[in-house]
Chains A and B, each alone.
Chain A
């Protein structure tokens, strides 16, 4: 398995990753540039997202329409997104279109037209996204929770505000593109049917002469933590809880991940079983490990009708407390089988593999083979998971609710030093 994984860092500090999967007919790439919304200037939130939108409006000698149509002729299923740390562009396609698609995207990174006459259209698109989030109550809730539990700028969402979107001009976008889209720490991750040496030569020819400049991430205020209620005339009350946890690069990551899976992932998870299956209090309830590079949080979510929301919240808090007492070997065995199945199934999709590799490189600075990940999962034992939980009992640091009425929350939820 090991020989199918490749990495190469060019002189300009751009890294190319490859996983050759000759059993597939497709190829997929993921371009991650270190230009996420943490790089938005304090007075112009939403600039990274607006810039990402504008970069897709023509590049090199292609207009906006030619850009879209040339990719569609290659059968590229394309995506673009702005996260906390990255602006990412992705594409999955029948394998013979890979090199042509990468050439088009190298132009997008280096030579976007950023057409002034389309700024108003781009601004409208960003406003539409902002409005859409406002109608998505679960997303609104989780955005507020992340804002409260990570230090600035790591808890940000990429959408900006009405005022900032209105204020952003083409010069801001051009400057952001020049300053934030750089080869240093950019990751080009490719998975699927291709030849590694030919890919390396191709990327050498289109991206290796791109020049680098240093960037800095601003640091800001510590997280607010605590409790917040967002009033909304909805039928359901949405509630979310955050506790400190460990990031992907931490040696205890898989211990934390396994414990959180026992709590809230899968059909036999404790939250699903206690809140939904036994009592019928909700349709959706889960817990997940949300990880940035330096910090991570255990996040729980539940959507439940208002009159049952208090009971749901109390149950989830009780399950968080009970988790500190440890997991059983049956619970852990189920989690291990599920983690390993996911690893195998990942190899059946070029798209999933290319983004997983980009994640590995960002968090660890190296790739993890399936064998290595399998060994990490095999090494999970009840003793190790429970020792970790005993040392790190989940302690809620913030609760956000959205719905008709606020809920009663425990007094001990106080700002911690996380």
Chain B
């Protein structure tokens, strides 16, 4: 494994973790932009723009982009989160040049008005699709309720109304501001010819104009409350719960992930033994997620409506207990073993390494090997967990319920 980095004059970083043993390679553009960088006037634009990036460039029509992605045998996709938009593709090494040429070209889209109007309908379909699926928008709504006016409270998808109101002009303005080369990283992993990668990227990206970009990242511990959305056609009751966790800048995020594994991993955790193995819930799981300036512990529950109250009380009891009594050495060892194994398994494919390398670069501006990532988790001690629990109160949470229940004590709609 060899790590390579090159920066173009306009500020675009090109990074690669080269593995000569790999049989394939993965390429991506990570863009430091997402719903937290939007305003009321352009809610949903980051995600809509992600779709529009596939709709053609000055050189290529939308059909040509799709055909070429398939013609190089790629497995390609993109996603938008609160703070980044990522375009990625997995290909065989012999298609590297064509792959780099294509995705680099895609990063300067035509944003044609007629494509914009057609794709708007697809976005509306996507919003409706999620509204029909568990947990019926509870995750985004819970983020909104927990973060309030903080930028992380902004919805990634937007609403049918906000997306319908978007104009091609506002999208172009957003693009010009956020897709500046200094706000993007070209990332590669696997069997990569780095010199050729830089050479080809240069021909497309050297001319990109740099503009000043910034992000508002105030810190917050979020808000408490209970909210209910009635979804009559649903069979099960769903709940999403958020409480504060370490932000991305804070080294205690490793302890936070270990704590979430002990309490709420999908298998073998405290919530698993109490709620899943007993059949009291369809799922009950917890994870730790970090953003710039703030982090969250996210707990998901899905169960029969009649059991929701008791199950949420049980989750509170689990949180209360860990605040009182902490964790055991054995739980810590088991969590480390699980996390280590999942890092090792996840890193075997170039497409797995791509996201670790890209996320780390865009969040921290450095590279971490698989072993270094494992070492950070292995170094966590019981006293780190105790410090974490002293700082972050798991019981100070926002809960968002969605399902057939029409009433919930203390809940607002």
Interface residues of A (CB under 8 A from B): 23-26, 64-65, 68-69, 72-78, 92-94, 120-129, 131-132, 134-137, 232-236, 266-268, 272-273, 276-284, 303-305, 330, 333-335, 337-338, 340-342, 344-345, 347-351
Contacts and interface: CB of A to CB of B under 8 A. Distances in A.
A236 B279 contact: no
B69 A268 contact: yes
A333 B303 contact: no
B338 A72 contact: yes
B125 A283 contact: yes
B359 interface: no
B234 interface: yes
B195 interface: no
B71 A75 contact: no
A333 B71 contact: yes
Interface in B123-141: 124-126, 128-129, 131-134
Contact of A24 (B24, B73, B273, B348): B348
A344 B92 contact: yes
B348 A282 contact: no
Nearest to B272: A68
B118 A348 contact: no
Contacts of A234: 132, 233
Given A131-B304, A236-B125, A94 B279 contact: no
B386 interface: no
Contact of A77 (B119, B236, B345, B349): B345
A338 B131 CA distance: 33
A72 B128 contact: no
Contacts of A348: 22-24, 348-350
Nearest to A76: B341
Contacts of A347: 23
A345 B125 contact: no
A24 B132 CA distance: 41
Nearest to B302: A132
16 contacts: A73-B337, A92-B345, A121-B278, A124-B278, A126-B279, A128-B282, A131-B235, A233-B232, A279-B121, A280-B121, A282-B125, A305-B125, A337-B70, A340-B92, A345-B23, A348-B22
A337 B118 contact: no
Given A69-B334, A73-B337, A236 B22 contact: no
The 8 closest A-B pairs by CB, nearest first: A124-B279, A75-B341, A280-B121, A341-B73, A337-B73, A128-B282, A235-B128, A267-B66
A276 B134 contact: no
Interface in B200-259: 232-236
A283 B76 contact: no
Contact of A236 (B75, B132, B233): B132
A65 B225 CA distance: 35
Contact of A280 (B23, B118, B349): B118
A75 B66 contact: no
A177 B175 CA distance: 60
Interface residues of B, number: 63
Given A280-B120, A280-B122, A348-B349, A73 B334 contact: yes
A132 B92 CA distance: 38
Nearest to B126: A283
Interface in B285-342: 302-304, 334, 337-338, 340-342
A123 B280 CA distance: 10
Given A73-B334, A75-B340, A234-B132, A334 B71 contact: yes
Interface in B104-125: 118-122, 124-125
Nearest to B91: A341
A126 B236 CA distance: 14
Nearest to A265: B70
B281 interface: yes
Nearest to A72: B268
Given A135-B236, A137-B132, A272-B66, A345 B344 contact: no
B183 to A, nearest CB: 26
Contacts of B134: 132, 135-136
B129 A127 contact: no
A78 B282 contact: no
A316 B380 CA distance: 55
- Select the residue from B90, B92, B132 with max chain A CB neighbours within 10 A: B132
Contacts of A345: 23-24, 75, 90, 349
- Select the residue from A122, A267, A342 with max chain B CB neighbours within 10 A: A267
B343 to A, nearest CB: 10
B192 to A, nearest CB: 14
B66 A135 contact: no
A347 B120 CA distance: 39
A276 B120 CA distance: 11
B63 interface: yes
A75 B337 contact: yes
Contacts of B234: 135
Contacts of A268: 63, 66-67, 69-71
A267 B66 CA distance: 5
Given A131-B304, A234-B233, A268-B69, A279 B118 contact: yes
B97 interface: no
- Select the residue from B21, B69, B345 with max chain A CB neighbours within 10 A: B345
Given A135-B134, A283-B129, A233 B73 contact: no
B279 A128 contact: yes
Contacts of A129: 282
Contacts of B121: 279-281
Nearest to A75: B341
Contacts of B279: 120-128
A305 B122 contact: no
A233 B67 CA distance: 37
Given A24-B348, A136-B134, A334-B71, A94 B126 contact: no
A349 B349 contact: yes
Nearest to A282: B125
